[in-house]
Amino acid sequence: MCSIIGYLGLNEAAPIIVKGLKRMEYRGYDSVGVATFSNDQIMVRKGVGRVIEVNKTVKLEELSGNVGIGHTRWATHGMVTDTNAHPHPSSTGEVAIVHNGIIENHEELKNDLQKNGYSFRSQTDSEVIANLLQYHYDKTRNIKQAIVDTVAVLKGDYAFVAVFEDGTLAAARFHEPLIIGIGKKGYFISSDVLGFVEHADDVIYLDNKEFVIIRPSGIQIFDFEANPVQHQITKVSKEFADVYKGEYAHFTLKEISEQPLTIPKSGDNTKLELDLAADFIRHAKAVYITGSGTSYNSALVAKFLFAKYAKIKIEPIISSEAHFSPDVFEQQSILVALSQSGESADVLEAVKIAQNSGAKIISIVNIMTSSLAQMSSIAVGLGCGPEIGVAATKSFTSQLAILYKIVEKICGGCMGLDLSEVAETVRKELSDDSKSKIKEIAKRLKNVSDIYILGRGIHYPIALESSLKLKELTYIHAEGLPGGELKHGPLALMDSNTHVIMINPDDSTYSDTLTSAREIKARGAKVIGISDKPSDVYDYWIELPRIEESMYPFVEIIPIQLLAYYAAVEKDTDPDYPRNLAKSVTVK
Ligand code: G6P
What helix, strand, coil percent values describe the chain, rounded to 5?
Answer: 40, 25, 35
Q: Return the ligand 1 atom nearest residue 395 CA.
A: 16
Q: What is the pLDDT of residue 202?
A: 86
Q: What is the pLDDT of residues 232-282, one digit of tens each?
A: 887 766 555 556 677 888 989 999 999 999 999 999 999 999 999 999 999
485 and 560 both lie in a single domain:
yes
For the Cβ of 339 lying below 6 angstroms from any atom of ligand 1, the answer is yes
From the CA of 578, give the closest atom in ligand 1. Answer: 8
Q: Quote the radius of gyration of the chain (alpha carbons, Å).
A: 25
Query: Do 463 and 342 belong together in one domain?
Result: no
Residue-wise pLDDT for 130-188, tens only, equals 999 999 999 999 999 999 999 999 999 999 999 999 999 999 999 888 999 999 999 99
586 domain-assigned: no
pLDDT score for 238: 53
Mean pLDDT along residues 423-430: 97
Ligand 1 site, residue 294, Cβ cutoff 6 A:
yes
Q: Report how far residue 171's alpha carbon sits from residue 221's, in angstroms, rounded to the nearest whole number.
A: 10
- Residue closest via CA to ligand 1's atom 7 equals 293
- On whether residue 581 sits in a domain, the answer given is no
| Segment 421-449 mean pLDDT | 95
Tell the residue nearest (CA) to atom 15 of ligand 1. 339
Q: How far is the CA of 535 from the centre of ligand 1 (A)?
A: 35
Residue 239 pLDDT: 52
Is the beta carbon of 363 within 6 A of some atom in ligand 1?
no
Domain extent at residue 564: 430-576
Last residue of a domain, one of 389, 417, 445: 417
Model confidence at 293, pLDDT cuts 50, 70, 90, reads very high
Q: Is the CB of 252 under 6 A from ligand 1?
A: no
Is 585 within the bounds of a domain?
no
Closest ligand 1 atom to Cα of 347: 15
Last residue of a domain, one of 217, 241, 265: 241
414 is catalytic: no
Instruction: Name the closest-CA residue to atom 1, ligand 1.
Output: 583
Q: Are 13 and 135 found together in one domain?
A: yes
Cα–ligand 1 centroid distance for 290 (angstroms): 12
Q: Residue 315 in 3-state DSSP?
A: strand
Q: 79-96 pLDDT, tens per residue?
A: 999 999 999 999 999 999
Rounded to the nearest angstrom, the distance between the alpha carbon of 424 and the centre of ligand 1 is 27
Indicate if the pLDDT at residue 361 is higher than 80. yes
CATH number at residue 491: 3.40.50.10490
- For residue 39, give the CATH number of its domain: 3.60.20.10
In the predicted model, what is the mean pLDDT of residues 309-333? Answer: 91
Query: Are residue 39 and residue 89 in the same domain, yes or no?
Result: yes
237 & 270 share domain? no
In a domain, 161, yes or no: yes
Point out the least confidently predicted range of 88-97, 121-130, 193-202, 538-547.
Answer: 193-202
Task: Judge if 497 and 570 occupy the same domain.
Answer: yes
Residue 569 lies in a domain: yes
The vertex-293 CA angle with 288 and 299, nearest 5°, equals 30
352 and 204 in one domain?
no
Q: Of all atoms in ligand 1, which is nearest to the CA of residue 293? A: 10
State whether 197 and 96 are in the same domain. Answer: yes
Residues 508 and 532 in one domain: yes
Phi, psi of 22 (to 5 degrees): -60, -40
CB atoms within 10 A of CB 155: 13
Tell which residue, 153, 155, 115, has the closest CA to residue 132: 153
Total domain count, the chain: 3
Average pLDDT, the chain: 93
Contacts of 114 (CB under 8 A, 6+ apart): 120
Tell which of 386, 417, 448 closes a domain. Answer: 417
Q: Is residue 424 part of a domain?
A: no
Cα–ligand 1 centroid distance for 583 (angstroms): 6
Q: Is the CB of 150 under 6 A from ligand 1?
A: no
Q: What is the pLDDT of residues 514-531, one digit of tens each?
A: 999 999 999 999 999 999
Question: CA-CA distance, 312 to 166, in Å (whole number)?
Answer: 60
Atom nearest to 468 CA in ligand 1: 9
Cβ of residue 341 lying under 6 Å from some atom of ligand 1:
yes
State the DSSP H helix or E strand holding residue 385, giving kind and residue range, or none if neither: none
Instruction: State the distance from the centre of ligand 1 to the C-alpha of 95, rounded, in angstroms.
Output: 34
| 69 CB within 6 A, ligand 1 | no
Q: Does residue 469 have a pLDDT over 60?
A: yes
Choose, from 2, 254, 469, 471, the residue flagged as catalytic.
2
Q: How far is the CA of 89 from the centre of ligand 1 (A)?
A: 32
489 burial class (0-12, 13-18, 19+ CB within 10 angstroms)? exposed
- Condensed to tens digits (0 to 9), the pLDDT of residues 95-126 reads 999 999 999 999 999 999 999 999 999 999 99
The terminus-to-terminus CA distance of the chain in angstroms comes to 12
588 in a domain, yes or no?
Answer: no
Q: Could you tell me the distance, in angstroms and rounded to a whole number, from the CA of residue 374 to the centre of ligand 1?
A: 19
Least confident of 16-30, 107-121, 164-178, 363-377: 16-30
The answer on 254 and 210 residing in a single domain is no
Mutation choice for ligand 1 from 340, 363, 366, 465, CB with most ligand atoms inside 8 A:
340
Lowest mean pLDDT among 146-150, 228-232, 296-300: 228-232
Does residue 344 have its Cβ closer than 6 Å to ligand 1? yes
State whether 269 and 338 are in the same domain.
Answer: yes
- CA dist 30 and 47 (Å) reads 9
Residue 195 has pLDDT above 70, yes or no: yes
Residue with the bigger pLDDT between 246 and 543: it is 543
DSSP, collapsed to helix, strand or coil, labels residue 200 as coil
CA 346 to centroid of ligand 1, rounded, Å: 10
Atom of ligand 1 nearest to the CA of 582: 8
Bigger pLDDT: 385 or 397?
Answer: 397
Do residue 177 and residue 135 come from a single domain?
yes
Pocket flag, ligand 1, residue 585 (CB < 6 Å): yes
Q: What is the pLDDT of residue 76?
A: 87
pTM over 0.85: no
Residue 587 within any structural domain of the chain: no
Active site residue 583: yes
Please tell me the distance from the alpha carbon of residue 585 to that of residue 588, in angstroms, as a whole number.
Answer: 8
Residue range 487-492: mean pLDDT, rounded: 89
